[in-house]
Structure 1
């Protein structure tokens, strides 16, 4: 069943819905951290994966994956283990392929989505910075948080400078993908998972400041956008700290951060909300029967309501989630 773009976007505008939009998303490359500038075949895997996934699930909107561009270039930083070397970080020139390549990717993904609204994924400066601090082939992702906290303890001034330089390049990227035909941006941010920076002072002075720098540009360029407060792999966030963030639609880990869709909608001043399903291998979406998955879909809608409510998952679903599970969830929501 295909709905018009205007019918789907009623939920994003916080209007009473004639259609309850639903969509899911996943990675398609073997690893999302493979550098697409060095391995352009990853970009082709990205596009082929999106086409197959859209054809099979028929979502109401498309939240695309930027696999191949997780590796921000960090110009002029030769030793990423030395914080002093980060002082030399240079912003990207306007024509850098990390920027222009994402325009090409967004154009191609938007074409694959057809008439569906498309939201392109951009990660926060802090996420891009911490990801650069580990070897993704040999070290666990959580180690990146601890190394970021080490750097911050060593010299918070350098860390802040790095984050705002990355923010300037993300603002360039936003202005570039504005011309691709997409509906808006899906902006992913996440607190550092280390007790040394898990406090309100760090959040307000560093994280919120740099996130707002990027989000104000997103809001200036696009009318409808999604704020993703990432709870992937059990990461936790103080959801109540994010209420000053200005993006229009809010997506978070309902299973982890302690707020249902209805509770989160109230917390964020009645803004539209997205999510409801868990996104790990223990979730109903991953392991449930058809009746269990469809009952859960109906429960989420009954609890959250039919104004400004968009159904999806807490975050990216596992690669091996059975397609029919997604089809069952979509079918159940469409029946409502």
Structure 2
């Protein structure tokens, strides 16, 4: 059964006939689960409870390859890639390896890697743009250095720690943040370093276009980034699965549900959630004539207090729907 789940996922990702629509959701960790064995146990417990077709290894509790507590631009400019000597990289590789070891090959994993800009903006939005206005070339250089470290990390997560691919979370394309020219000059080059590394190491990577602060993105800036699968904030972007898949060149897509507090999966009844599951599936099949290219999931990760039983309702109804419709993907 485990082999069938893993084989089914690969068949789907490769556009081959497969028996089931893969499904997976993600949930942030509690404060006491952010490191060490508690972190590993939290991932395993979530996997056992929700039985996803794959597990995303969470970044929660980790920081960045660069010190995020710096206060001066000179401190930031002193940063250089550390690769295997960087504590952040060592901690993340250890986390991923331990989780994969505990899963013992039962479930494939993707590891959540944040883009260079996503991590660097954590020094504080105001501080970042103060530095950017003061010396934009220095910021570009730092982002490239971060890209080198994260490229190294991505390779090692796949080749050494046992992850099937990278779940690369991208930010920086929010409307009004950068012009397309600024994005192309300052943000995209560092992202491409990471993407090149992960694409050279695995054919199964996922790009996540983050709906940061519920601000719409200039999605066209990412439209041609290579990856097997794309995931975007459907309900922030107002871009349904069917239209988004067309926009991204008919690549595999992941999503369906809104992850925000108070929305259906958080607040709806079991009946409503099951009905929406069927609605998502039927709408997709009507648009494309099959379920090819779909992984059922959500716009982003859910908060720690989310009731995981609600994920199980979706998975159960998905399997019921497949039985009712005698579903077999082409």
TM-score by length of 2: 0.88
Task: Compute the RMSD of aligned alpha carbons.
Answer: 2.1
* Aligned with 2:94 (options 104, 126, 140): 104
| Partner of residue 251, structure 2 | 271
The one-character-per-residue Cα deviations of 1:205-258 (angstroms, maximum 9, x if unpaired) are 122221111101110011110001111441431222211211110011000012
- 8 Å Cα contact 1:251/1:314 also seen in 2: yes
* Aligned with 1:60 (options 53, 62, 68): 53
For the pair 1:311 / 2:291, whether they are aligned, the reply is no
Give the 3 Å change call, closer, same or farther, for CA 259–17 of structure 1 in structure 2: farther
Superposed structure 1 runs of 4+ greater than 4 Å apart: none
| Partner of residue 188, structure 1 | 169
SS in 2 for 1:6: helix
The one-character-per-residue Cα deviations of 1:89-111 (angstroms, maximum 9, x if unpaired) are 12215233322222221112223
**Which segments of 5 or more consecutive residues in structure 2 lack a partner in the other structure?**
286-290, 323-330
**Offset at 1:297?**
1.2
Instruction: Give the Cα–Cα distance (whole angstroms) in 2 for the partners of residues 228 and 65 of structure 1.
Output: 13
- 8 Å Cα contact 1:278/1:285 also seen in 2: yes
Give the 3 Å change call, closer, same or farther, for CA 233–318 of structure 1 in structure 2: farther
**Which segments of 5 or more consecutive residues in structure 1 lack a partner in the other structure?**
33-40, 135-143
TM-score by length of 1: 0.87
The one-character-per-residue Cα deviations of 1:266-287 (angstroms, maximum 9, x if unpaired) are 0010100001110111221111
For the pair 1:209 / 2:189, whether they are aligned, the reply is yes
- 8 Å Cα contact 2:54/2:109 also seen in 1: yes
The aligned length equals: 313
Give the 3 Å change call, closer, same or farther, for CA 193–238 of structure 1 in structure 2: closer
Give the 3 Å change call, closer, same or farther, for CA 31–126 of structure 1 in structure 2: farther
Instruction: Give the Cα–Cα distance (whole angstroms) in 1 for the partners of residues 184 and 15 of structure 2.
Output: 28
Instruction: Give the Cα–Cα distance (whole angstroms) in 2 for the partners of residues 45 and 194 of structure 1.
Output: 38
- 8 Å Cα contact 2:65/2:86 also seen in 1: no
* Aligned with 1:219 (options 191, 196, 199): 199
Give the stretch that moved more between structures: 90-99 or 274-283. Answer: 90-99
* Aligned with 1:117 (options 99, 108, 114): 108
SS in 2 for 1:251: strand
SS in 2 for 1:107: helix
| Partner of residue 119, structure 2 | 128
Give the 3 Å change call, closer, same or farther, for CA 318–333 of structure 1 in structure 2: same
- 8 Å Cα contact 2:144/2:189 also seen in 1: no
Give the 3 Å change call, closer, same or farther, for CA 96–213 of structure 1 in structure 2: closer
- 8 Å Cα contact 1:29/1:45 also seen in 2: no
- 8 Å Cα contact 1:17/1:308 also seen in 2: no
Instruction: Give the Cα–Cα distance (whole angstroms) in 2 for the partners of residues 17 and 256 of structure 1.
Output: 31
